[in-house]
Amino acid sequence: MTAGEKKSPLVIISGLSGSGKSVALNALEDLSYYCVDNLPGGLLSGLLDEIRAQPERYPKVAVGIDARTGPDGLERLVMLLDSLPRGKSARLLFMEASSAVLIRRFSETRRRHPLAAQGGLEAAVKSERQLMEPIRERADWTIDTSETNIHQLRRLVWRNIAGVDGEAVQGVVLESFAFKRGVPRDADMMFDARCLPNPHWEPALRARTGLDPDVAEYLESSERVRAFRDELLDLIQRWLPALMEDQRALLTVAIGCTGGQHRSVYLADALGRALKEAGWPVTVTHRELDK
C-alpha cells in the first residue's frame, strides 16, 4: 500500500446541482487541496494512478463529479468506487438539499439546471436525484445544505474533511456580522462592537464599509476603538495555542455591530491581517457584505 493510499489523498465531491459543490471545492482549495471541478467520471481512474505515482506532488486532491458527466460517467464512477478498498484511496462527499430549496436556488439565480431539457426544473431535480442515488449510497459522508449558508458550509467541509484525512485545519475564521440579523450559530468566540463610535452617523461614511480607508481612519482615531482592537488581538493570540491543544481544529471568532457594515468589518479585517502577520492561517468573512 502506498503512502498516498494510507492518507486517502483523494476526496470526491458529488451531489445534486445547486447543493453547494462549488463552495465545498473552494473550501478545500483553502486547505491546499489540488482541486478539479466537473471531472469526467471515466478519467478518475487515470487520476488515481497519477496520484499514486506522484504522492509528493499530489498529497491532497479534490475532484467534483456530478450529473454533468452523464449516465456513462456516473456508472464508471460507481464501478471504480466499488473496486477500491473502502476509505483507502478515496473518500466520497455527497451533497444534497430538499427539492424545494434546489428549485428556489435555481429560480433565484436563473441558472440552467444540467437536466432542464428533460421537462422543466421540477422534473430535472427529481430526475437528477434518481440518477445520483447510486453515488449517494456509496458516500462516506453526506451534507444536507437546505438550511446552511455558504459560510457555515465552508466550515462544515473544513471540519469534516480534516477528519477524513486525519489532518487538522489549525486555522482561524474571523467573521463580521450584524446583531440585528441574528448571531452566527457556529461561533466559538463572539464579541460585541456596538459600544464603539459608529461611522453610520457620519454622512460621508454611511454608505461605505469597514474596508474603506476613510472608515478605518475614522475608527482608528478613537482611543476606544484602538484599545478594543488591541485587547481583542491580545486575547485571541494568547489563547489560540491552548484552544488548538484542546483539539479545536478551527476557531471561529465572530465580531458583531448593529448593521455589520462598519465597526465589525473593520475589526475582523484588522485582526485578520495582524494574525496573518503572526503566522496563523486566517480566513476573513463579512456575512452581511457577502450577501
The DSSP result for the chain, as a single string, is --HHHHT--EEEEEE-TTSSHHHHHHHHHTTT-EEESS--GGGHHHHHHHHHH-TTT-SSEEEE--GGGHHHHHHHHHHHHHHSPTTTSEEEEEEE--HHHHHHHHHHHTPPPTTGGGTSHHHHHHHHHHHHHHHHHT-SEEEE-TT--HHHHHHHHHHHHHHHTT----EEEEEEEEGGG---TT-SEEEE-TTS--GGGSTTTTTS-TTSHHHHHHHHT-HHHHHHHHHHHHHHHHHHHHHHHTT-SEEEEEEEESSSSSHHHHHHHHHHHHHHHTT--EEEEETTTT-
**Residue, of 280 and 185, whose pLDDT is higher:** 280
State the CB neighbour count (10 A cutoff) for residue 242: 9
Mean pLDDT, residues 9-38 taken together: 89
Task: Fill in the amino acid letter for 250.
Answer: L
Domains by residue range for the chain, with CATH: 3-164 (3.40.50.300), 171-286 (no CATH)
139/192: higher pLDDT:
192
Displacement of CA 176 from its chain's centroid (Å)? 16
d(CA 220, CA 223): 7
| Residue given cell 491581517 in the structure block | 273
- Nearest one of 208, 218, 214 to 259, comparing CA atoms: 208
- pLDDT for 162 equals 64
Residue appearing with cell numbers 464501478: 79
Average pLDDT score, the chain: 86
Query: How far is residue 253 CA from its own chain's centroid?
Result: 15
Give 223 or 33, the one with higher predicted confidence: 223
Query: How far is 225 from 174, CA to CA, in rounded Å?
Result: 17
Looking at residue 132, its amino acid is M
Per-residue pLDDT at 86: 62
- Average pLDDT, integer, range 205-212: 96
101-124 tens-digit pLDDT:
999 998 887 788 888 776 788 899
Indicate whether 2 pLDDT > 90.
no
Residue type, 287: R
pLDDT > 90 fraction of the chain, expressed in percent and rounded: 49
Contact 47, 61 (CB under 8 A): yes
Q: What are phi and psi of 257, to 5 degrees?
A: -140, -170
User: Which pLDDT does position 5 carry in this prediction?
Assistant: 38
Cβ(175)–Cβ(253) under 8 Å? yes
Asked if 119 and 166 touch (Cβ cutoff 8 Å), the reply is no
Q: Are 140 and 87 in contact (CB under 8 A)?
A: yes
Q: What's the mean pLDDT in 240-262?
A: 80
pLDDT tens, 17-31?
999 999 999 888 877
Segment 214-234 mean pLDDT: 97
Q: 127-180: per-residue pLDDT in tens? A: 999 999 999 999 988 999 998 888 788 878 877 776 544 455 457 889 999 999
- At 58-102, the pLDDT tens digits run 888 999 999 988 888 899 889 888 887 765 678 899 999 999 999
